[in-house]
């Protein structure tokens, strides 16, 4: 799922944003979710804005 979703986002101009995979954790915040998931975090680095 992740590579296909990332390919869709790469078709668009995201400016200085990035596509990053994320690790999901269970409610206890210690045990990672072991199945394959496709979430994406898109952020924009605002450090260079005037």
pLDDT of residue 49: 57
Q: What is the pLDDT of residues 5-23, one digit of tens each?
A: 778 888 888 777 777 777 7
Share of the chain above pLDDT 70, in %: 62
Residue in this structure with the two tokens 């390919």, named with its chain if needed: 7
Pairwise pLDDT comparison (12 vs 3), residue with the higher score: 12
Q: Which of 21, 2, 15 is nearest to 44 (CA)?
A: 15
pLDDT at 30 over 80: yes
41 DSSP β-pair partners: 20
């Amino acid at each position: 799922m992740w590579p296909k979703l990332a390919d869709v986002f790469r078709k668009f101009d995201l400016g200085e944003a990035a596509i990053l995979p994320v690790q999901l954790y269970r409610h206890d915040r210690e045990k990672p979710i072991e199945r394959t998931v496709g979430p994406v975090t898109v952020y924009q680095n605002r450090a260079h804005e005037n």
